[in-house]
Structure 1
Amino acid sequence: MKAVQITNYGAADVLRVNDVDRPEPGAGEVLVAVEASSVNGHDVIVRAGGLKMVSGRRFPIGVGLDFAGTVAATGPEVAGHRVGDRVWGMVHPRQRHVVAGAAEYVVVSADRIAPAPANLSSVEAASLVVAGSTALIALRDSVHLTGGERVLVRGAAGGVGTAAVQLAHAMGAHVTALARDRHARLLTDMGADEVLDYGSTTSEGIGPFDVIVDTVGSELNCYRSRLAKGGRMVTVGLSAPALAAIAASSVYGARRIRTFSANPDTAVLRELAGHVTSHALRPVVDSVYPLADIAAAHQAFERGGVVGKQVVAVAATA
Structure 2
Amino acid sequence: MSETVMRAVQFDRAGGPEVLRVRDVPAPTPGSGQILVRVRAASVNPADILSRRSRIGGFPRGTGMDYAGDVAAVGPGVDDLRPGDRVWGFLGTGRRPVGAAADYLIATRDQVAAAPASIALVEAAALPTVGLTALQALRTLRLHDGDRLLVVGASGGVGSAAVQLGRAMGAAVTAVAGARSGDLVRDLGADRVLDYASIDSHAPEQDFDALIDCHGGSISRYRRMLRRSGRGVTVAAKGFPFALLSRVLPGPSIGVVIVKPSRNDTQALTRYVDDGHLRPVIDTTYPLAAIQDAHRAVETGHAHGKRVIDLRALPPSRG
Structure 1 segments unaligned to the other structure (5+ residues): none
Q: In structure 1, what is the Cα distance between the partners aligned to 2:162 and 2:275?
A: 16
- Preserved contact between residue 288 and residue 313 of structure 2 (Cα < 8 Å): no
SS of equivalent to 2:259: coil
Cα deviation, residue 96, structure 1: 2.6
Offset, 1:306: 3.2
Alpha-carbon distance, 1:109 to partner? 0.8
**Structure 2: where are the runs of 5+ without partners?**
1-5, 315-319
Deviation string, structure 1 residues 71-120 (Cα, Å, up to 9, x no partner): 00111111201000000012132x33111101000011123100000111
Question: Which secondary structure does the structure 2 equivalent of 1:59 belong to?
Answer: coil
Question: In the alignment, which residue of structure 1 is the partner of 2:3?
Answer: none
| Structure 1 contact 33–71 (Cα < 8 Å) conserved | yes
SS at match of 2:14: coil
Distance 1:253 1:77, change over 3 A: farther
- Work out whether 1:312 is the aligned partner of 2:287: no
Q: Could you give the per-residue CA deviations for residues 272-301 of structure 1, whole angstroms, max 9, x where no partner exists?
A: 111001101111111000001011001111
1:146 to 141, 144, 147: 144
State the alpha-carbon separation in 2 of the partners of residues 90 and 306 from structure 1.
Answer: 20
Contact 1:68 1:122 in 2 (8 A): yes
Q: CA deviation at 1:316?
A: 3.7
CA distance in 1, matches of 2:137, 2:241: 20
Residue of structure 2 equivalent to 1:128: 127
Pick aligned residue for 2:22 from 17, 23, 26: 17
Equivalent residue letter for 2:182: A
Paired with 1:118 and 1:188, the residues of 2 have a C-alpha distance of 25
- Cα deviation digits, residues 226-279 of structure 1 (max 9, x gap): 21021011111112xx33212111125882111121113111110011100110
Residue 85 of structure 1 is matched in structure 2 by 85
3-state DSSP of counterpart to 1:269? helix
- Where 1:255 maps in the other structure, the secondary structure is coil
Aligned residue for 1:193? 191
Percent identical across equivalent pairs?
45
Query: Once the two structures are superposed, what CA deviation does each residue of 1:152-201 show, in whole Å capped at 9, x if it has no partner?
Result: 11110001111101111111111111111222122112111101111221
Alignment CA distance shift 1:253-1:88 (3 Å) = farther
Contact 1:204 1:226 in 2 (8 A): no
- Confirm whether residue 104 of structure 1 aligns to residue 103 of structure 2: yes
Q: Which amino acid aligns with 1:216?
A: H
Note if contact 2:69-2:86 (Cα within 8 Å) is conserved in structure 1.
Answer: yes
Greater displacement, 268-277 / 215-224: 215-224
Whether the 8 Å CA contact 1:203–1:226 is kept in 2: the answer is: no
Secondary structure class of the residue paired with 2:161: helix
Q: Distance in 2 between matches of 1:203 and 1:162?
A: 24
Residues paired across the two proteins, number: 308
SS of equivalent to 1:202: helix
Give the AA of the match of 2:280. P
Q: What do the CA deviations read for 1:194-216 (whole angstroms, capped 9, x no partner)?
A: 01111221288324211111111
- Structure 1 length as normaliser, TM-score? 0.93
Task: Give me the whole-angstrom Cα distance separating, in 2, the residues matched to 1:132 and 1:253.
Answer: 32
Deviations 1:119-150 (A, max 9, x none): 1111111101111111111112x111101111
SS at 2:126 equivalent: helix
The residue number in structure 2 matching 1:63 is: 63
**Matched residues in 2 for 1:69 and 1:226: separation?**
42
Aligned to 1:255: 252
Whole-angstrom distance in 1 between the partners of 2:250 and 2:28: 47
Tell me, in whole angstroms, the C-alpha distance in 2 between the residues paired with 1:180 and 1:195: 9
- Cα distance in 2, alignment partners of residues 183 and 42 from structure 1: 23
User: Tell me, what secondary structure is at the counterpart of 2:264?
Assistant: helix
Counterparts of 1:1-318 in structure 2 under 5 Å?
1-49=6-54, 52=56, 56=57, 58-93=58-93, 95-140=94-139, 142-202=140-200, 205-207=203-205, 208-239=207-238, 242-252=239-249, 255-316=252-313
CA contact (8 A) 2:91 2:261 kept: no
Three-state SS of the structure 1 residue aligned to 2:125 is helix
Q: Normalising by the residue count of structure 2, what TM-score does the alignment of the two structures yield?
A: 0.93
Structure 1 distance, partners of 2:123, 2:201, is: 33
Task: Report the Cα distance in structure 1 between the residues aligned to 2:290 and 2:138, rounded to whole angstroms.
Answer: 34
